[in-house]
Structure 1
Amino acid sequence: MSRKIAGFLILLGVFMVFEWVNLGFNLQDGHPTSFYVVHGILIGVNLILAIVLGVIGWKGLRGARDR
């Protein structure tokens, strides 16, 4: 994996964490419970994906440095 792609994956993971945590804090009261359940699941899944992308990018960056 090239350094550019690895850096992109790391930046994408950081952006996703920022975006979804920000959304979680900005949810307003007054919605039905199902709204919060669905958005909680979306936030959780996207945070997991962000962590996976960050780890792949980090390993790719370290692998590119070792070559």
Structure 2
Amino acid sequence: MTRRVSGFLLALAAFMIFEWISLGFNLQDGHETGFYVVHGILIAVNLILALVLGGIGVRAWMGGRP
């Protein structure tokens, strides 16, 4: 993997983390419980995906060195 692709993965992971944490703080009261459950699941899944992509990006950036 090139450094350009690994840089893209790192930038994407940072954006996803920022975006979904911001969404979590910006959810307002007044919705049904199902709304919060669905958005909580979306936030959790996307944060996990961002961490995985960030890990792949870091590993590729370092050239596979442990």
The TM-score, its normalising length taken from structure 1, stands at: 0.94
Q: 1:22: how far off?
A: 0.2
Match of 1:27 in 2: 27
SS of structure 2 residue aligned to 1:28: coil
Task: Answer 1 or 2: which has greater helix percent.
Answer: 1
Residue by residue over 1:27-48, the C-alpha shift from the partner in whole angstroms, topping out at 9 and shown as x without a partner, is 0100000000000000000000
Work out the CA distance in 2 between the residues paired with 1:14 and 1:55. 11
The TM-score, its normalising length taken from structure 2, stands at: 0.95
Work out the CA distance in 2 between the residues paired with 1:9 and 1:63. 14
CA RMSD of aligned residues (A): 1.1
List structure 1 segments (4+ residues) > 2 angstroms apart after TM superposition. none
Unaligned runs of 5+ in 1: none
Match of 1:17 in 2: 17
Work out the CA distance in 1 between the residues paired with 2:58 and 2:4. 12
- Between the two proteins, the alignment pairs up a number of residues equal to 65
